[in-house]
Each structure stands twice: as C-alpha cells, then as structure tokens.
Amino acid sequence: MATLVFDIETSALPLDSFDNSSQEYLMRPAARLATEEEQEAKREELVRMMNLWPFTARVVCVAMINAETLRGQVIFIADDFESNSRSVAGVEFVPVMDEEELIAQFWEVTKHYDKVVTFNGRQFDIPFLYLRSAQLDVPISKKNWLGYRFATDPHCDLAEQLTFYNVSGRDGAARRFNLDFYCRVFGIESPKSHGVTGMDVNQLIKEEKYEAIAEYCVRDVFATVKLYDIWRERLEGIK
C-alpha cells in the first residue's frame, strides 16, 4: 500500500479583495467591542486567522513525500513559474502559475496512493483542500481522505494518534502539542530550526521568497515522516 505524507502552506487573501458586505461580516466581531484599541487588536487577530479559512486564504505550497521511498515533490506558486524544476535529495521543486494548477497537480499525484499521513490534516489540510477545490472547480481524486476518525486507514493523522483521539483533553497526560514540540522530544530535527515558521508565509510571499516557503514545507513533511515511523514502531495498535 503506497503511503503519501503531505503538508500545505496557506496565505490569506487581501481583505480588500472582498466586497464591502463580506469585509463587514469578517470583521464584525471587532466592531462589537467597546474601545478603538480593542477593536484594532481584534481586527489584527481576525486578519491573521484568515490564513486558516479556505474561503479567505489560498494554498500557496504543497509538499508530498512517499513514506516508503522518501522521494516526492513540492509544488509552489511562484512568479517565475516558467523556470525549470530542480531536484534536491529526491524531492522535485515544481513552480506553478496559480493555485488552480497547484491543486490540480496535487490531486493528480494522489491517484497513485492508497493511504495518507498528516499532522493535523483531518482538521486542517484535508478540509481546506476539499473546500478550495470546490470553490475553484478543481476535480478531487480522493474524496475519502477525511476517513473515519477512529481509524488510521486511509488517513493517519498523527495529531490524533499522539493524543489518543484527545482522550485527555487540554490538560491531561496526552494533551496535544505542536509538531515542533513533538519533534524536539522525539529527537527529530524541527522544521522550524532553520528560522522559518508557518507564521512567516505571508511575509515571504510579499518578499517573493517562494522557494523559502517550499523548503520549509518540505522540512515539515520529512519531520512528519520521521514522526510517523516512530509512531508505527512504538505506539501503533494501542487501543
């Protein structure tokens, strides 16, 4: 069974790209606050959160690695999309023109895989891709990847496995941590060790540092592959 490990990076669409009614709706929680200072702080928070919503953000990068061969590709939006692809350590870097092409290529690759592994993909990556694909009218090749939550086939979400499906809540022994923390405690090189995080994506887009986003996304996926190997060797099968 071929297993695909992947991660996406997203970037908020400009607030002024929405009509006035939509802008008012998105910022409404800020308008309800009493002071201008509170309102401004809330607006800044809401703009940051727009990165997380598939109707207010776009996919700018997706990295995919075959868990068995450790080969794969990273597809990313870039102004110089006509430049040639390059390969580094078995990973092909593929610049594309726009989000539609990126998502279409992603779904084309997934046709060759039976199983998917993510970190928080059931809550974020998969629903984000499904809804963006629907909005952009890009055909979806794998419509079963949300999967049954209490199963690891076809979708193994390590964020759920390492919390035993949130058995402890926020404060118990199996509370949830972020990927960076899990990597550090299990002796895996953190994808953030190179000084780039997901919070930097919007700024990197502005600075046209597209390959920096792609490289960070690839590091995220390789870290997820190593965490998946540890989970399989030491924890898989616990009920």
Tell me the average pLDDT of the chain.
93
**pLDDT over threshold 70, residue 76:** yes
**pLDDT over threshold 80, residue 196:** no
Domains, the chain = 3-12+57-234 (3.30.420.10)
pLDDT tens-place string over residues 33-63 = 999 999 999 999 999 999 999 999 999 999 9
Question: How confident is residue 202, by pLDDT bands cut at 50, 70 and 90?
Answer: confident
Calculate mean pLDDT across residues 210-230. 95
pLDDT tens-place string over residues 153-176 = 999 999 999 999 999 888 899 999
**pLDDT over threshold 70, residue 195:** no
Confidence at residue 84, expressed as pLDDT on a 0 to 100 scale: 67
Tell me how far apart the alpha carbons of residues 40 and 31 are, in angstroms, rounded to a whole number.
9
Question: How confident is residue 191, by pLDDT bands cut at 50, 70 and 90?
Answer: confident
**pTM of model > 0.85:** yes
pLDDT tens-place string over residues 94-126 = 999 999 999 999 999 999 999 999 999 999 999
